[in-house]
Every structure is written in C-alpha cells, then in structure tokens.
Amino acid sequence: MYLDNSLYQYNVILMVLYYTYAYGRLYQLGFWKSALYLFKFIGVTLLLMIFLALIGVLIGFIASAIMG
C-alpha cells in the first residue's frame, strides 16, 4: 500500500501542534508560551546537533592526521 509522503509530513506537524496544546493545558500555559517552549526545544536540539557534528568532524581530522 502506497501512502504519499506529504501525508506523513502533515501528520507530524499536526502532532507537534497537538502536543503543544496538550502541554499548555496541562501546565496552564497560553498558546504563545507553549510555542515559546517548543521553539526553545527546537533551538537547543539544533545547537546540540551542530555541536555533535563539529565534534565528529574534529575527531575525523585528528584520526586522519594520526593514520597518515
């Protein structure tokens, strides 16, 4: 059975919005406050991924210099 990829993408977006709404209801936060927490999470995740990628590149350069 074939499903279009855009269906999956829309589902992920709706799921993130729903969980933002549910998190806001659980902790009595407004929509914008919940969205701010979501953007903070995305920002920290991106920074962590960039940091880990730089460490990987650094390890690769060191290993290639050692191995010659």
What local confidence, expressed as pLDDT, does residue 14 receive?
Answer: 93
What tens digit of pLDDT does each residue of 37-55 get? Answer: 889 999 999 999 999 999 9
What local confidence, expressed as pLDDT, does residue 30 receive?
Answer: 86
Domain containing residue 39: 5-67
Average pLDDT, the chain: 91
Q: Hey, what are 28's tokens?
A: 């009595």
Strand, helix or coil for residue 3: coil
H helix runs in the chain, sequence order = 5-26, 31-67
Q: How many domains does the chain have?
A: 1
